[in-house]
Amino acid sequence: MNYARQQHTVSVLTNGNVLVAGYSITAELYNSSGSVWTITGNMSDVRTWSTVSILTNGIVLVAGGYDNINALNTAESYNPLLVNGRIRRSYG
């Protein structure tokens, strides 16, 4: 990984890659076939203790958590089909 993390989430994507998000504003993608870590985008908020769901269309929803001070009532999505996934806020 490019950044040390704690209280983060790890999600196995439908293509076999692994998305790691949280503790930092960045999200990283691990390509297991090449053993390579890539920074894939920035989240709008630093998130710890968030929840992650992989939707049936493959989009990853990262919701809630804390910004190290306050509870968050927002969510962000990651689309592995886009170049670098493009983390973007879904609602707030």
For residues 29, 12, 67, 83, the Cα torsion angle rounded to the nearest 10 degrees is 40
Q: What is the pLDDT of residue 92?
A: 43
- Collect all residues with Cβ–Cβ distance below 8 Å to 10 and sequence separation of at least 6: 18, 19, 20
Residue 88 has pLDDT above 70, yes or no: no
pLDDT band at 80 (very low <50, low <70, confident <90, very high): confident
Q: Please tell me the pTM assigned to this model.
A: 0.81
The residue-averaged pLDDT of 58-64 equals 90
